[in-house]
Structure 1
Amino acid sequence: MPELPEVEVTRLSFADRIQGARIHSVRLGKPLRWPLGYDPALLAGRTVLQVRRRGKYLLLDLDAGLLLLHLGMSGSLHFAPQQPEPGVHDHCDVVTHLGTLRLHDPRRFGAVVYADSQDAPAAAKLLGHLGMEPLDDGFSLPAFYAGLQARKTAIKQVLLAGEVVVGVGNIYASEALFIAGIRPTVRAHSISKPRAAKLHAAVRSVLARAVLKGGSTLRDFSNAHGESGYFQLEAMVYDRQGLPCRVCGTPIQQIRQGQRSTYFCPVCQKR
């Protein structure tokens, strides 16, 4: 599933090229996870002002309203001056005078939703529960620590839930916990403030590094240029079960948490 780094890489790959584009039409294919909630014909003539990101959602601000895009489990966006005829898995085309933004999603868990504003019910339902943005200045240590203190579940699950901090997906949670030296099964509320500070810094650094590396491509992720990411090639623990820890040489272990694979070093990561 594309996580925050992949969504941010996608945004960076087309945001400047679509800015100022006037929409000619919006074509919808097979139904996606949520309906558009608006007559696509009424979007003709509107202008794309900017592309923002909130968690794993891309927000296309229009001169009236906005479009919220989610890549789901396997979706990708491609923006080009000309697109070939849509295939069976091409479910939305936003056609503008500068090019066409196409959502390709074989599993159809992605979405394109219209809202009158970010405060409108359609947008608030999707965005209202999201935690702090880890790459923004607002990602403060006191608020992060307070969020951990209020939760008694395993720290890995707290990171994945997105209510304290958004976008720390499975790969990046495993990597950040390794850097911070924290076992994934430790209860969030039991983490001391000094250890929380290490985790706070690790979350920010891991996600920033992933963006620089173009995200992670495990199966089929690519940005709006069609380019893959390479962060997974330098992972410290993720998908390295049985291989030696890059720090101490101990074999990396794998466990299951909430139906997701978790990887950790039993020596470097303390309980």
Structure 2
Amino acid sequence: MLSERAPVLPFYSPYNFLRDIPADQQAEWFGPGRFARFPASPHEQVFTFQQQGQQVQLLYTALPWDSEYFGVPTFKLLTALFDLVAPMADRVAALQAWQQELANRGGFYCFGEIPVEDTALLQTLTASGWRLVETRLQFYHSQISEFNQPRYAVRAARPDEATHIGQIAAAARNPYDRFHADPWFGEARADAFLARYASAAVQGYCDTVLIPNESGLPVDSFLAISDLTADATKLGVGLSRVVLTAAGPQNRGWHQRLVSETVHRARERDARYVLMTTQATNRAVFRTCEKLGFQLGGSTHVLVCHQ
């Protein structure tokens, strides 16, 4: 089944559009090679379904932090393995059997981020009742050494500012992110989760959180960065990812400035790429990307199921 799915599995690498990184290296760590070693950690699991000679395997992982926060067992579907000639009915039956197994444990929430290239799995999920909640675009900057945008006064947020950063995240509500677009969360719970996530970013979940540092300017924006250390080591290149960002009304224009400073920071750290993901609806971020020299790399769909 790995060989049947081989044409699309490389697109599961979050770096598949970075052409300077050898495809076989990416495939080993994040594509077919990873799924061939699955499960490789205690939280990773495989559900196998067989019917009328057809076998379907669902590869997924439990998310303990999310499960504890929401009070519901939470899982992420990573991909599925099946013969491409398998009838759609068999694939749907596999999804429904797996969902029933999870439901028998007392309810669940599951989501998957599927590359747009994997039409077979996307069609299987929608036929099984999964709901689309977000479409994402992946942007990247690869000309870091030549980046010459103006500098802006920024600093790293301090741990004692974590609560305030969380409040900024909650107030800058985006109806199109997967939490606010999914009725399962509800507006209040989605706001609270983003506030907790942003606070955790300041407290060490991310490598740094940049905020404005101009005299007399209130802090009403932030940008959290992960240097993706483990992945960078595997790939042999320096990376930085914009994990979460928000800009309130008192800091208009600061999203672009914080992203610009993120690229400057990456150059100072000899990183080769800066990555940033946004919703396909976020035209303000598109403009920032165009002004700062980012390129579009790929797209994914986020689908959910729960009981």
TM-score, normalised to structure 1's length?
Answer: 0.27
Bigger relative CO (Cα 8 Å, ≥ 6 apart):
2
More helix by share: 2
TM-score, normalised to structure 2's length?
Answer: 0.25
More strand by share: 2
